[in-house]
Structure 1
Amino acid sequence: MFSTSLTTNDLLFMLQGAWVTLKLTAAAMLIGTLAGVVFGLLRAAMPYATLPLSWALDVFRSVPLLIQFVLFNSLKSLVGLNWSAFTVGCVVLGVYAAAFCTEIVRGGVLAVPPALRRASRSLGMSYWQDLRYIVLPVATRVAFPGWLNLVLSVMKDTALVMWIGIIELLRASQTIVTRIQEPLLVLCIAGLIYYLMSLVVARLGARLERRWQEHD
Structure 2
Amino acid sequence: MFDTALTTADFIFLAKGAGITILVTAISVAIGTILGIAFGVIRIQLGPVFSAPLTFFLDIFRSIPLLIQLVLANAFVGMVLQLQISGFTVACLVLSLYTSAYCAEIVRGGIDSVPVTVRRAARSLGMTWGQDMRYIVMPLATRVALPSWIGLALGVMKDSALVYVVQVTELLKSTQILITRLQEPMLLLLICGAFYFIISFPLARFGGYLEKRWSND
Tell me the TM-score normalised to structure 1 length: 0.96
Show the counterpart of 1:57.
Answer: 58
Matched residue SS, 1:153? helix
Matched residue SS, 2:83? coil
Further displaced range: 152-161 or 201-210: 201-210
Give the Å deviation of 1:213: 4.5
One-letter amino acid matched to 2:112: L
Percentage of matched positions with identical amino acids: 50
CA distance, structure 2, for counterparts of residue 180 and residue 127 of structure 1: 61
CA distance, structure 1, for counterparts of residue 140 and residue 111 of structure 2: 8
Give the Å deviation of 1:81: 2.1
Output one character per residue of 1:66-107: Cα deviation in whole Å (capped at 9) or x when no partner. Answer: 000000000001202221111001000000000000000000
Which residues of 2 match residues 56-95 of structure 1 at below 5 A?
A: 56-77=57-78, 78-95=80-97
Show the counterpart of 2:45.
Answer: 45
Give the Å deviation of 1:128: 1.5
Give the Å deviation of 1:209: 3.1
Show the counterpart of 1:2.
Answer: 2
Matched residue SS, 1:102? helix
Is there any run of 5+ residues in structure 1 with no aligned partner, and where? none
Matched residue SS, 1:82? coil
Which residues of 2 match residues 197-208 of structure 1 at below 5 A?
A: 197-208=199-210
CA distance, structure 2, for counterparts of residue 56 and residue 17 of structure 1: 32
Give the Å deviation of 1:201: 1.1
One-letter amino acid matched to 1:163: V
CA distance, structure 2, for counterparts of residue 65 and residue 159 of structure 1: 11
Tell me the TM-score normalised to structure 2 length: 0.96
CA-based RMSD: 1.1
Show the counterpart of 2:122.
Answer: 120
- Picking from 133, 136, 147, the partner of 1:145 is 147
Which residues of 2 match residues 11-30 of structure 1 at below 5 A?
A: 11-30=11-30
Query: Do residues 165 (structure 1) and 181 (structure 2) align?
Result: no
Output one character per residue of 1:131-186: Cα deviation in whole Å (capped at 9) or x when no partner. Answer: 11101111111111111100000000000001111110000000000011000110
One-letter amino acid matched to 2:69: Q
Give the Å deviation of 1:56: 1.0
Is there any run of 5+ residues in structure 2 with no aligned partner, and where? none
CA distance, structure 1, for counterparts of residue 206 and residue 131 of structure 2: 30
CA distance, structure 2, for counterparts of residue 30 and residue 129 of structure 1: 24
One-letter amino acid matched to 2:123: R
CA distance, structure 2, for counterparts of residue 154 and residue 144 of structure 1: 15
One-letter amino acid matched to 1:36: G
